[in-house]
Structure 1
Amino acid sequence: MVNEQSDARVHRTVHEAEADAPADVVYRLIADTSRWPLYLPPNVQVEQLETTGDTERLRMWATANGQVKSWTSRRVLDPAARRVEFRQEVPAAPVESVGGTWIVTDLGADRSLLTLLHDFTVAGDRAEDVEWVERAIDTNSRAELGNLSTLAAGWARLEERVVIFEDSVHVDGPAERVYEFLHRADLWPQRLPHVDRLELTEDEPGVQIMTMGTRTADGSVHTTESVRVCFPEDLRIVYKQTATPALMSAHTGCWTVRPAAGGGLTVTSRHSVVLREEAIEQALGAQADLARARRHVREALGRNSGATLEVAKRFAESAALAR
């Protein structure tokens, strides 16, 4: 990382990483923010607020120095130059302003250079706040560029490593009751047989930090850590696992409650996973391949989320019957 100051208040950083992939492949990874929660380790959720031509506004949630921060950003995409400029419209404290540029440079022979520039200011320019922001930018930028470089290098097989699926149940009960069940994850150990233990904090309304011990089919318990962002007005909860089982390099998900055609509700659990191909043999045995790993993850995650959906269904419908 290179740091410099152009004046007393504007701080600038430069991070770079090379990738064994064509420049257009790398550019597509940074241009498509819909998969950023899956591809960028610090990123939890991206909501596209509006888009006009090559300009878009985004609401974003990401981890920074162990905290979850949220902000809105405006991005301007330049596919011809392989550049994306961004500027936060409503930064998260202690940042006063922050922006920058993603730049992809073609190095030839399927090799690229990815550069990430930041400039930022901090209210009062207090040394401890500047250090906090610099540390957050450095940690996150290194994680983002490192993972993008790895994903780009395996771009030819990337879609095979991505597993996306969803399961749904029909519910004849109040939507608010379903959402309450999904939101009150702190009660899952008493409500769900596959949840062994769960620790949940919600210091900021709607942003939950969760550590969960889940019983697997063989009776063992594995621990995951997640950040959940709750949207009660939309009856939706999105999450990202920040500590995943060995077979997965990334796992994001979403719970939604929607009106169903003909009455009642459709409650859906959606999973998105990036498999860690190098961990397949150790996790599933010497004969296992990528196709077996895809089936295993689909079955394991679907089993648990399906069980959660069924209990949520009974929870909501029992309330309806009691009326």
Structure 2
Amino acid sequence: MSSQRVHASEQTAWIAAPAGVVYGLLADAVRWPLLLPSPVHVERIDFDGVRERLRLWDVAGGERVRSFHVRRVLHPESRTVEFEQEDTARPGVPTTGTWTVEASGEAECRVTLREERTLEGLPAAGTARSRQEWEAEPAEWLAHLKAVAERWERLDELLLSFEDSVHVDGPAELVYDFLHRIEEWPQRVPHVDAARVVEDVPGVQIADVDTCATPDGRTVASRAVRLCFPSAARIVFKELVTPGPIAAHTGEWSLIPDGDGVRVVCARQVMLSEDAAGLVPGPGTGLVEARRYVRTWLGRASTETLRLARWRAQTAVRRLR
């Protein structure tokens, strides 16, 4: 028999940060992939300043990527965010909920997450287990939100974003194909030692990559989710396992028409770990040096990959002429 029940939950957390800061983190869902562990990518489809529709991809267990649509209503005056998930056919998903942030002084607040979920379609024997898994998720979200919000005074120092780009006199399809086939990079890109890719769902890649592009020549291992959008000429990625001084790393490869060719851009966003300065090789390193080290390291990898993508595309074009 199937169970068709609606279960409600409410969980709270005290956070040592101003209420406005915490509300801002909740309201700006597009930044969640960099600040919170499970979101991989968030796209804002519609937004009128109050009501918005989002498509969100997240990861469970380090290997299972989910995607769903959410409608939200933002209330900055009361510091509440109402949400409703559209994809209610999936068993156990949150159908509706509300985030509420209540100030308690200038530098502390209480955050409450209320949710209702429909366990429709689940066998009765599996309902208890699914409910346990469901009840664990809000607690994890609150814990991660607390960890990020309580670093609010240092976030500007820990966050950095940058991009590298090249112009290619060739078709975007050839460049995109090079960037998409990351499993072939060990034979094509010198700083990539190994790449193991699983693509159970077309366009959703889980990639384990070993690279040696650090300024001091170390080999580092990473695991990333890559969302490939060929029709939009974009590949969005988030690292699930980050090396060294990096706490979180997201980015996007995009191809933009540029005259007779295409401009290929690699944009990256990084959050450094709290002890980043101590993890950077060399004497007397501080956070400024850590930022420079990471920018040099990732920029070198991006630039080499971009130049090789250009070379392969332009070489192929010359052979066809």
AA matched with 1:233: S
Report the equivalent of 1:234.
232
- TM-score, normalised to structure 1's length? 0.92
Deviates more, 1:81-90 or 1:218-227: 218-227
Displacement of 1:15: 3.0
Q: Give the Cα–Cα distance (whole angstroms) in 2 for the partners of residues 136 and 318 of structure 1.
A: 52
Written as runs of structure 1 = structure 2, the 5 A alignment for 1:1-323 is: 9-66=5-62, 67-91=64-88, 93-95=90-92, 98-127=95-124, 130=127, 133-134=130-131, 136-215=133-212, 216-260=214-258, 262-285=259-282, 287-323=284-320
Using the TM superposition, give the Cα deviation of residue 138 of structure 1 relative to its aligned residue in structure 2, in angstroms.
4.4
Moved over 6 A (4+): none
The DSSP-based 3-state class of the residue aligned with 2:183 is helix
Q: Secondary structure at the match of 2:163?
A: strand
CA distance in 2, matches of 1:168, 1:278: 30
Unaligned regions of 5+ residues in structure 2, if any? none
Deviates more, 1:286-295 or 1:170-179: 286-295
Higher mean C-alpha displacement, 40-49 vs 11-20 = 11-20
RMSD after superposition: 2.0
User: Which 5+ residue runs of structure 1 have no aligned equivalent?
Assistant: 1-6
Shift of 1:142: 3.5
CA drift at 1:148: 2.0
CA drift at 1:93: 3.0
Q: TM-score, normalised by structure 2?
A: 0.92
Note the alpha carbon deviations across 1:170-204, whole angstroms, 9 max, x for none: 00011001000111111111111111111101111
CA deviation digits over 1:250-279, x for unaligned, max 9?
A: 10010001101x321100000100111223
- With 274-283 and 291-300 compared, the bigger mean Cα shift is at 274-283
Flag the 1:92–1:69 CA change in 2: closer, same or farther, 3 A. Answer: farther
Q: CA–CA distance in 1 between the matches of 2:182 and 2:89?
A: 27
Secondary structure, in 3 states, of the residue corresponding to 1:219?
coil
Query: What amino acid does structure 2 have at the position aligned with 1:247?
Result: P
Checking the alignment, whether the CA contact within 8 Å between 2:58 and 2:67 is kept in structure 1 is yes
Amino acid at match of 1:164: S
Amino acid at match of 2:118: T
Contact 1:210–1:226, Cα closer than 8 Å, also in 2: yes
